[in-house]
Amino acid sequence: MTIVTPRTRAARTRWALADGWTITRRDLTRWLRSPEEVVGGLLFPVVSVLLFGYVFGSAMVVPGGGNYREFLMPGLFGMTMVFGLVITASAVAADSGRGITDRFRSMPISPFAIVAGRSLADMVRAAADLGVLVACGLLVGWRAHGGVLAFLAAVGLLLLLRFALIWAGIYIGLLLRSVESAAVLFPLVLPFAMITNTFVAPELMPSWLGAVAEANPLSSTVAAARLLFDNPGVGGDSWLAQNSILMAVVWPLALIAVFLPLSVRRFRNLSR
């Protein structure tokens, strides 16, 4: 029987961290060596700002008044974090389909380090996407009026949502195991991103649809970001609307609690 001492546990932790960093560097290097993937991913936020801010913006109404682009930008920040789930799931499914995941499993690497490395690499990509989107927002007149600390808190909540959805993406990607099957994810994720307060305030929707939109975890993050950025459109009489910052923390933590252990367990049980 192997006796696990504190020193042994510390050594295993160090090895797991080193393995996780190796996987992170591998995923980031692969991303940076695919210029079309980098440019395509960063162009999406730019197109979203132009499309929704200028093409549809003139027809939109902000409850209580205010500039629609200032109302819109926090919604686009959140929507970009949600669509990152598809990117994560597709990358994990591609690795599985090419046999890379099986090779990792044959190596003396911690299962948690492999999925954690993927999550860290995707967080770097998410931060890059968010940075580009913030720059686009500043160019079209969006401003964060809440101060530096509030701005950082809003960005932290947006990235927390992305981190939670990374684990959902990893789990789904391990279930799919092919890029072709991952293609069906986008139309499935789209309603989740659209039936929310991203583009229209829930109080302007039919009552039943507004209730569904407010119960969407993305709505809590977007509402909290608007509040912290001091952008227009903050409101709503429901408990969820009045406690958006709290729920912007609770929803992601709940998703992490569900999908992080599921992802590690799924990785361990592949091909069984």
Mean predicted confidence (pLDDT) in 204-219: 90
In angstroms, the Cα distances linking 61 to 223, 224, 250 are 16, 20, 30
pLDDT for 17: 76
Instruction: Lowest mean pLDDT of 57-61, 184-188, 208-212, 234-238, name the range.
Output: 57-61
Give the tens place of pLDDT for each residue, 60-75: 777 777 788 888 899 9
pLDDT for 264: 84
Per-chain mean pLDDT for the chain: 84
The answer to whether 171 touches 266, Cβ cutoff 8 Å, is: yes
Name the residue among 234, 261, 266, 239 with its Cα closest to residue 250: 239
Residue with tokens 């929803």: 251
DSSP 89-133: HHHHHHHHHTTHHHHHHHSS--HHHHHHHHHHHHHHHHHHHHHHH
Give the tens place of pLDDT for each residue, 153-190: 999 999 999 999 999 999 998 888 677 777 788 888 88
Q: What angle do CA 247, 156, 213 make, to 5 degrees?
A: 35
Mean predicted confidence (pLDDT) in 116-143: 88
Give this prediction's pTM. 0.87
- pLDDT value at 235 more than 90: no
pLDDT for 3: 47
Instruction: Give the separation between CA 59 and CA 248, rounded to whole angstroms.
Output: 29
The answer to whether 92 touches 174, Cβ cutoff 8 Å, is: yes
Higher pLDDT, 165 or 8: 165
DSSP 28-88: HHHHHT-HHHHHHHHHHHHHHHHIIIIITGGG---TT---HHHHHHHHHHHHHHHHHHHHH
Residue with tokens 């929310």: 196
Residue-range domain boundaries for the chain: 14-268
Instruction: Give the separation between CA 98 and CA 179, rounded to whole angstroms.
Output: 10
Residues contacting residue 1 through CB under 8 Å, at least 6 positions apart = none
In angstroms, the Cα distances linking 235 to 65, 185, 231, 250, 266 are 12, 32, 11, 19, 41
The answer to whether 46 touches 136, Cβ cutoff 8 Å, is: yes
- pLDDT value at 79 more than 60: yes
H or E segment and range at residue 264: helix 244-268
- pLDDT value at 6 more than 80: no
